[in-house]
Amino acid sequence: MITSLRGMNDILSDDYKRFTYFIDTATKIAQRYGFHFIETPLLEETSLFKRSVGESSDIVGKEMYQFVDKGGNDICLRPEGTAGVVRAFIQKKLDRAGGVHRFFYHGAMFRYERPQKGRLRQFHQFGVESFGVESVYEDANMIMMVSDILKELGIGYRLQLNSLGCIECMPSYRKKLIHFVQECKDTICEDCIRRLDTNPIRVLDCKNGSCQELYINAPKLMQNLCSECEKDFTTLTKILDDNAIAYEINTNLVRGLDYYSKTAFEFVSDNIGSQSAIAGGGRYDRLVEFLDGRPTPAVGFAMGIERLMELIKMPEVKKEGYYIGAMDDESIDTIIKVAHKKRESNLVIVDYKSKNLKNHLKAADKTNAKYCAVIGSEEMKNGTIWVKNLEDKTEKTVTLEDF
Ligand code: HAM
């Protein structure tokens, strides 16, 4: 038997209901915040991710589905959504147009990670990206939007916040951190030694317990921010306080993608095991420029749909639509015709096999239809149809015209 690839799942039946319920809810809320849908391709040039997510990141360094296509182009399946949206933003010259542009998207992302619970190789994200707003109020808006989506879905969370500083304060902090890490170079893990050369700040995110113990005494980003970054961070926390959104400041939260500056945040759940991040994002004011666009401030987030599907509290499913069946073979053509007409404005499930009323009622129940409608020889003769309301259990026979 051929099975799906490791870490790549089918989504059907009840899972699909959760999946679409999530997307419908998140879409509704993103639209309330003034965001518009954008679709970008699953395949992009590999260089797009190298230049944005960063060559030193695990995503680009270890996890890309990268290959050369028949035309000799170095391409890859997108590991995340931001880079493609930024590419589209520049390609459509929206950076030159100026003004504010707000997009949301959802779709499959691909990372060649070791599959485990909550960690897939093909997974789905819902994300938003906002361009052209420098104000930290937009960062707060992002966080409030995630919070609104999670609230609507009945999902509890912990919000972790950090500021990664800007071009003013980050370089001097980097120097201090490198100095600190070099002092303990003999005791840190190999990954951290590599990070020291590629992207030192990522040592703070190391999962190795003994490294983490050493870094407790490392200089803290939060204590090395310039006055503007500090002011923005204070404003952000005030807005969150004013709007009753609880947060924890995590000075080690550096995120796994290189494009962030200033605000970084992650929403985590304590109910889904070790892969606990359910959403993450932050500001990336320099990325548009890095990818050859006009300097444009930007901020965004993405939510992991599969992780959220485990947590969603689904609303009670209401019975809906019609189940239509025939009690003998002669009535089948008529029910097809009746169903076709009824489908102009209703959900209709048709059973093509004739059977007795009891079996039709049983089958109708399984489809979750609100009405079971049946035609037999008697109804054929009179031009009628027998209808039972499966909620209040009332029954009646009506003319086909009235039906
Ligand atoms: P990210 O933190 O890499 O950020 O991914 C966002 C979310 O995708 C995670 O919080 C997690 O829920 C989900 N996720 C990531 N990897 C996997 C996986 N292997 N299996 C299942 N779920 C996963 C980004 O991708 C950024 N583009 C977010 C962003 C948008 N920043 C600014 N704008």
pLDDT of the chain, 403 residues: tens digit per residue: 999 999 999 999 999 999 999 999 999 999 999 999 999 999 999 999 999 999 988 999 999 999 999 999 999 999 999 999 999 999 999 999 999 999 999 999 999 999 999 999 999 999 999 999 999 999 999 999 999 999 999 999 999 999 999 999 999 999 999 999 999 888 999 989 988 888 899 899 888 899 989 898 899 989 999 999 999 999 999 999 999 999 999 999 999 899 999 999 999 999 999 999 999 999 999 999 999 999 999 999 999 999 999 999 999 889 999 999 999 999 999 999 999 999 999 999 999 999 999 999 999 999 999 999 999 999 999 999 999 999 999 999 999 999 9
Q: How far is the CA of 277 from the centre of ligand 1 (A)?
A: 8
Q: What is the DSSP letter of 379?
A: H
The pLDDT score that the predictor gives to residue 346 is: 97
Amino acid at 265: F
Among 251, 284, 311, identify where a domain stops.
311
Asked if 338 and 290 sit in the same domain, the reply is no
Among 311, 337, 364, identify where a domain stops.
311
For ligand 1, say whether the CB of 84 is within 6 Å of any of its atoms: no
| Residue among 49, 123, 272 to mutate when testing ligand 1 (max atoms within 8 A of CB) | 123
Structure tokens given for 15: 């899972």
For ligand 1, say whether the CB of 79 is within 6 Å of any of its atoms: no
Contact 116, 123 (CB under 8 A): no
Q: How far is the CA of 128 from the centre of ligand 1 (A)?
A: 12
The pLDDT score that the predictor gives to residue 56 is: 85
Asked if 138 and 269 sit in the same domain, the reply is yes
Contact 306, 124 (CB under 8 A): yes
For ligand 1, say whether the CB of 280 is within 6 Å of any of its atoms: yes
Q: Which of 301, 391, 359, 364 minimizes the C-alpha distance to 104?
A: 301
> Helices marked H in 330-371 — which ranges?
332-342, 357-367
Contact 90, 111 (CB under 8 A): no
For ligand 1, say whether the CB of 105 is within 6 Å of any of its atoms: no
**Cα–Cα distance between 19 and 40 in angstroms, integer?**
20
Paired residues of 375 in beta bridges: 326
Q: Which of 310, 209, 197, 301 minimizes the C-alpha distance to 255?
A: 301
Residue whose Cα lies nearest atom 11 of ligand 1: it is: 304
- Would residue 217 count as lying in a domain? no
For ligand 1, say whether the CB of 312 is within 6 Å of any of its atoms: no
Contact 86, 259 (CB under 8 A): no
Scan for tokens 């509290």, then name that residue: 313
**Cα–Cα distance between 219 and 115 in angstroms, integer?**
34
Identify the domain containing residue 130 by its residue range: 13-169+225-311
Domain count, the chain: 2
Residue whose Cα lies nearest atom 14 of ligand 1: it is: 304
| Residue among 62, 130, 257, 288 to mutate when testing ligand 1 (max atoms within 8 A of CB) | 257
Paired residues of 79 in beta bridges: none
**Cα–Cα distance between 289 and 275 in angstroms, integer?**
33
The pLDDT score that the predictor gives to residue 38 is: 98
Residue whose Cα lies nearest atom 17 of ligand 1: it is: 119
Asked if 74 and 155 sit in the same domain, the reply is yes
* CATH code (residue 48): 3.30.930.10
Distance linking the first and last C-alpha atoms of the chain: 47
The pLDDT score that the predictor gives to residue 292 is: 98
Which H/E stretch holds residue 130?
Answer: strand 122-131
